[in-house]
Structure 1
């Protein structure tokens, strides 16, 4: 079974000491193997405390981040690009300090709606920035995940094919594709072909419903997606991601346009998602096993 993760915003909107204790203890209580920490507002995090709590509860950790226009590595302004690279290297350093090995998100540009396509020079700058950060991450045993998001959150990587092309341009073995069903539902033709295209380049997965609420209550074809993961024998982390106005991180929640209250009980949501993912992943693998020719 794949390691199962959950995003910290199911539990708390900040990573101060009290919230960190709740985030980590609730994640373990709900049966997950990994907690994903968003590094928006990471200056509030007590790294030593967080690492101790992770070890105490036997949890893995992954970190994620998106950039702003003021630190956009796909900008044509070298000073803006430099600010973005500094933030990404900080994210890698935090991930490493926590004992984590995965740092992902929109690492190639701003997490925002652009008013124009990415320029040729902007893409060159993004590739160069990711290549530099990949070298920095590789020295620390950290994998970078380029999360493929929808057109309202990036003008650069909206499909798995675009992410694979950027990874080819970067040419670093520790840069992988990060697929998210919420974004795939908007941009991809289905939930099968992008996964098959990525194969060994798929490094991380977000499971999110079409409206970001309870799994199975929206329009996403999870059976097809889980089957695709089984077909490529994906062994990596599968992380549940859901957002509601019940739990707010002002910077991240506003950037993601979380205006509605989609759930009020994080534990009920998390337990439901855990069972949904376990059942779906298991059913997909068993289905392939039954279809395999007898030897």
Structure 2
């Protein structure tokens, strides 16, 4: 289906690939991966923020600049840095942790940090999210956003499925949290994998988050190659075109290459070879962009 002329946009979103398909670690082993992604045709890479020294991010960022690649980052927070904690000390630690992530991303020249930074990953209270938890999270995100502003970095919190998070599962919940955070450097991310489990209709979900949308993860229902599964891709790309979205479209796919990381997110089997995902995924996104973006 082709969009009416007035609802089409003239700019393609840049396309990135998340190197978590190979590793969660920051090291010079990422250099040849980035080089091949550049050769394939990607505009940028996304990497996980771990506790590596800031210098490691600076070195990788310099390599990306030499290649002509841009960068974004993804992160999670744990129980000891949980923004929704009842403990003021843990919330302070959450702010410090987010500042450390911003320092690393800035050293790499990244422009976006995405991920479920609003609450601790896979940490549950065994009750529905409470008003004070949203308030705590918003306060932490606002403080982190103020720090991110100095680095010209946008924080893009992510809604996760109910098996990994309880605070934000839907775009409605995430949009409300971002409004509460009330900072221009705190926006939002849409991830097709999680939306496939939690949203009733992709167009409505995307329209809900559109005013604060800053980043999109293109991720298949099984975390394999985009286009091979049952995500409603026409709805996704058409609606992104309708809202004039021009931010990153980054493929996030998982494998068991990094066993510790795979075990931590319950990835127990291989979906596709990472280079097959990278090559076929890029072709798929470009095909969809050409279909819906003038």
TM-score (norm 1): 0.91
- Answer whether contact 1:14 1:249 (CA < 8 A) is retained: no
Q: SS state of the match for residue 179, structure 1?
A: strand
Of 34, 57, 78, which residue of structure 2 is paired with 1:47? 57
- Answer whether contact 1:112 1:255 (CA < 8 A) is retained: no
How far 1:176 sits from its partner (Å)?
A: 1.1
Higher RCO, 1 vs 2 (CA within 8 Å, ≥6 residues apart): 2
Q: SS state of the match for residue 70, structure 1?
A: helix
1:255 aligns with 2:255: no
Aligned to 1:279: 287
- Answer whether contact 2:158 2:191 (CA < 8 A) is retained: yes
1:270 aligns with 2:278: yes
**Partner Cα separation in structure 2 for residue 241 and residue 106 of structure 1:** 14
- Answer whether contact 1:180 1:205 (CA < 8 A) is retained: yes
Instruction: Give the direction of change, closer, same or farther, for the CA distance of 1:119–1:196 in structure 2 (3 Å limit).
Output: closer
Of 98, 102, 105, which residue of structure 2 is paired with 1:95? 105
Instruction: Give the direction of change, closer, same or farther, for the CA distance of 1:13–1:106 in structure 2 (3 Å limit).
Output: closer
How far 1:274 sits from its partner (Å)?
A: 0.1
**Partner Cα separation in structure 2 for residue 16 and residue 174 of structure 1:** 28
1:195 aligns with 2:203: no
How far 1:37 sits from its partner (Å)?
A: 0.8
Q: SS state of the match for residue 61, structure 1?
A: strand
**Partner Cα separation in structure 1 for residue 213 and residue 186 of structure 2:** 10
Aligned to 1:240: 251
Aligned to 2:47: 37
- Answer whether contact 1:147 1:177 (CA < 8 A) is retained: yes
1:104 aligns with 2:114: yes
Q: SS state of the match for residue 144, structure 1?
A: strand
State how many pairs are aligned.
Answer: 282
**Partner Cα separation in structure 2 for residue 263 and residue 254 of structure 1:** 17
Aligned to 1:180: 191
How far 1:43 sits from its partner (Å)?
A: 4.2
Instruction: Give the direction of change, closer, same or farther, for the CA distance of 1:142–1:77 in structure 2 (3 Å limit).
Output: same
Farther off after superposition, 43-52 or 272-281: 43-52
**Partner Cα separation in structure 2 for residue 249 and residue 131 of structure 1:** 34
**Partner Cα separation in structure 2 for residue 24 and residue 59 of structure 1:** 8
Farther off after superposition, 114-123 or 272-281: 114-123
Q: SS state of the match for residue 192, structure 1?
A: helix
**Partner Cα separation in structure 2 for residue 14 and residue 101 of structure 1:** 20
Instruction: Give the direction of change, closer, same or farther, for the CA distance of 1:260–1:89 in structure 2 (3 Å limit).
Output: same
Q: SS state of the match for residue 67, structure 1?
A: coil
**Partner Cα separation in structure 2 for residue 249 and residue 24 of structure 1:** 21
- Answer whether contact 1:263 1:269 (CA < 8 A) is retained: yes
**Partner Cα separation in structure 2 for residue 100 and residue 269 of structure 1:** 23
- Answer whether contact 2:24 2:50 (CA < 8 A) is retained: no
Instruction: Give the direction of change, closer, same or farther, for the CA distance of 1:254–1:43 in structure 2 (3 Å limit).
Output: farther
**Partner Cα separation in structure 2 for residue 42 and residue 253 of structure 1:** 19
**Partner Cα separation in structure 1 for residue 55 and residue 19 of structure 2:** 13
**Partner Cα separation in structure 2 for residue 186 and residue 42 of structure 1:** 33
- Runs (4+) of structure 1 exceeding 6 A deviation are none
**Partner Cα separation in structure 2 for residue 43 and residue 253 of structure 1:** 23
Instruction: Give the direction of change, closer, same or farther, for the CA distance of 1:6–1:130 in structure 2 (3 Å limit).
Output: same
Offset from partner CA, 1:99-126 (integer Å, 9 cap, x none): 1111111111111151333333322211
How far 1:167 sits from its partner (Å)?
A: 1.3
